[in-house]
Amino acid sequence: MRKILIALFFTLFANWSQAQQLERIEPMFWWVGMNNPKLQLLVHGTDIATLDVQLNYPGVKLVKVNKVENPNYLFLDLEIAAETKPGKFPIAFTKGDKKKLQYVYELKKRENGPSRIQGVTSKDLIYLLMPDRFANGDPKNDVIKGMRETKLNRDSMYYRHGGDIQGLINKLDYLKDLGVTAIWMTPEIENDMPLVSYHGYAATDHYKIDPRYGTLDLYKTYVDKAHQKGLKIVKDIVHNHMGTGHWFYNDMPMKDWVNQWPVYTQTSYRDEPVMDPHVSEADKKKMLDGWFVPSMPDFNQRNPFVQNYITQNHIWWVEYAGIDGLRLDTYPYNDPDYMKDWAQKIKAEFPTLSIFGETLVHTAAAQAFFTGGNTVNRGFDTELPGITDAVIKNAIYEALNGKTGWTDGIFRLYSTLAQDFLYQDADRNVIFMDNHDMSRFYSMVNEDIDKFKSGIALLLTMRGIPQLYYGTEILMKNYSNPDGLVRSDFPGGWPSDKSDKFIESGRTAQENEAFNFVKTLANYRKSNTALQTGKLMQYVPENGMYTYFRYQPEGGKTVMVIVNVDDQAKSLNTSRFAERIEKAVSATNVITKERLDNIKSITVPAKTTLVLELN
């Protein structure tokens, strides 16, 4: 009997000890002086809900302790008064009059400085890259013991290749020299998934940098070093879903933390039900609540605890690192009411932060539907400043590759820009030729260097915020099927690479031709306010040629852009552009530096976009 009692005692002690584990509190720390005084802490630990909570710090009030379905969670509602001082204080978890666990929470002072949270605007050129495929600066973190994906295989497009944040830090000077002013990495937070973890869009820890990329401290160092070099930072964030390897997916706070279905239901990927006035509610629910893929559970954004968790996480990252902009993944798939609330709370904390949402839709009207200011059609303001402008991308491809017709070829681009009245401000849209989810630009113009340069000229002189996908400047190519090929490594990012495309001597003559074209125009744009913030005036295309101007009224610079999409050179009589040319009598070719002393008639080579600064 004595042995049984002893065994029972140790069993109970072991179970009680297990119940006292405190695994995490998120956010791990916060700041005083935030616009919103409310903070909700997620507390996770075995049977943590069996304990009481106490804290005592001047200016901090524990308003409510929320217990949910899962006893391994508590949600603590705090209020932080405006006069609260930075400092540390214990959060005690007690049973009766005994303290069982304690977490020392810190409220930090908010950082200030001219390089923090600058915003990304039409003055910038964004460079998009996948950190795993750009450069490997620290081989020691290529494989991390204990993570679900343990292979490093550069011969496969679906395994990790070893690129990391240190590798990107090492290449900041390359990007600055190219004329880039902002960097957008695909998500760098932990993706501890068994397959395709390099992709980044299946988070398994929202407060942790993936250790194969680096650490929290290294990420902040990266942002600081980029700012020191005049480069801004865009962070890629995902509201809609997480990965099945996420720690809280495997121990969910409550059943409706994610959208539940009787059987697995995938989203339709159709944006129309979100805006259709004749919509079936079943179609709308499938679009918004269906899972993106089986490995990416869909957040239930109508759950207030989910809302607080996601919003606070994004505020935490911006304040912690001082980043300049946010790119919102899969924007149309999110709950519209929540996204409005999210945008209002983000803007209240960071008025200078830039935000743009991914909307891979097919019409300008559909894009505009998701942007801020479109209250007539939506009944509310989404508060979303800008979107990724796939419609302009498609129009540029049609201009370069299509045959001219009433609405085809170059007319598609003209008519698409004519619909800019749909947006509150089209200059806040991000324009691009390709990204990590689609075929590369150089392949899409059939590896025609003239079409390539013509498209780049359009990208860098058009309204909006231009975005360049990594390797475009050195003619990296491939199609999205299979999609891994458009995510090839940047040659030279690994010490064992046979060639180094980061340096002139490592590139072929044609690669240098492309690189220098991008560099010349990007750096010209960086110093020319007409291309950054100037007005746009376009003219109806005639005879296979399309002309538009970027200009600043009242004596500012004027840039004339002439697009010839035909296979033969053409002469352009400029008399119809008199209202914009005004008194200019000559022009300078921005790329070649050649001076045109007579601009009454301009010869435009085949498949060329001329960029001329009027004198």
The catalytic residue among 329, 335, 398, 473 is 329
Backbone angles phi, psi at 332, to 5 degrees: -65, -15
pLDDT at 99: 87
Query: Which among 370, 352, 353 is positioned nearest to 361, based on CA atoms?
Result: 370
Tell me the pLDDT band of 597, cut-offs 50, 70 and 90: very high
CATH of 536-614 given 3.30.70.330, 2.60.40.1180, 2.60.260.20, 2.60.120.10: 2.60.40.1180
pLDDT at 20 over 90: no
The per-residue pLDDT for range 328-372, each reduced to its tens digit, is: 999 999 999 999 999 999 999 999 999 999 999 999 999 999 999
Tell me the pLDDT band of 1, cut-offs 50, 70 and 90: very low
Q: Which residues fall within 8 angstroms of residue 474, CB to CB, at 6 or more apart? A: 491, 501, 507, 511, 514, 515
Residue intervals in the chain for CATH 2.60.40.1180: 536-614
pLDDT at 216: 98
The per-residue pLDDT for range 244-285, each reduced to its tens digit, is: 999 999 999 999 999 999 999 999 999 999 999 999 999 999
Helix residue spans in 216-303 (DSSP H): 216-228, 272-275, 281-289
pLDDT at 555: 75
**Do the strands 182-185 and 126-129 form a parallel or antiparallel pair, or are they unpaired?**
parallel
pLDDT at 484: 81
pLDDT at 5 over 80: no
Q: Which residues fall within 8 angstroms of residue 196, CB to CB, at 6 or more apart? A: 158
Residue intervals in the chain for CATH 2.60.40.10: 2-108
d(CA 605, CA 586): 18
* Strand partners for 564: 545, 608
Asked whether the beta carbons of 385 and 427 are under 8 A apart, the reply is no
pLDDT at 287 over 50: yes
pLDDT at 592 over 70: yes
Tell me the pLDDT band of 19, cut-offs 50, 70 and 90: low
The per-residue pLDDT for range 141-181, each reduced to its tens digit, is: 999 999 999 889 999 999 999 999 999 999 999 999 999 99
Share of the chain above pLDDT 70, in %: 97
pLDDT at 11 over 60: no
| Range 126-527: architecture per CATH | Alpha-Beta Barrel (3.20)
d(CA 57, CA 59): 6
The per-residue pLDDT for range 346-358, each reduced to its tens digit, is: 999 999 999 999 9
Query: Which among 463, 469, 484 is positioned nearest to 561, based on CA atoms?
Result: 463
pLDDT at 10 over 50: no
User: Would you state the structure tokens that stand for residue 118, as one six-digit string?
Assistant: 């600058």
The per-residue pLDDT for range 374-403, each reduced to its tens digit, is: 888 788 999 999 999 999 999 999 999 999
Rounded average pLDDT over 445-460: 98
Query: Taking the alpha carbons of 328, 237, 186, 154 in that order, is the dihedral positive or negative?
Result: negative
Tell me the pLDDT band of 126, cut-offs 50, 70 and 90: very high
Mean pLDDT, the chain, rounded, equals 95
Residue intervals in the chain for CATH 3.20.20.80: 126-527
pLDDT at 241: 98
More confident call, 535 vs 114: 535
CATH class of 2-108: mainly beta
pLDDT at 13 over 50: no
d(CA 74, CA 69): 10
Per the annotation, the verdict on 497 as an active-site residue is no
pLDDT at 2: 46
Rounded average pLDDT over 568-587: 95
Concatenated DSSP letters of 414-459: HHHHTTGGGSS-GGGSEEES--TTS--HHHHTTT-HHHHHHHHHHH
Scored b (16 or more CB within 10 A) or e, 397-434 reads bbbbebebeeeebbbbbbbbbeebebbbebbbbbbbbb
Length of the chain measured in residues: 615
* Strand partners for 431: 466
DSSP symbol at 367:
H
pLDDT at 15: 40
pLDDT at 8: 39
The catalytic residue among 26, 192, 358, 383 is 358
Rounded average pLDDT over 454-467: 98
**Secondary structure class of 492 (helix, strand, coil):** coil
417 residue type, one letter: L
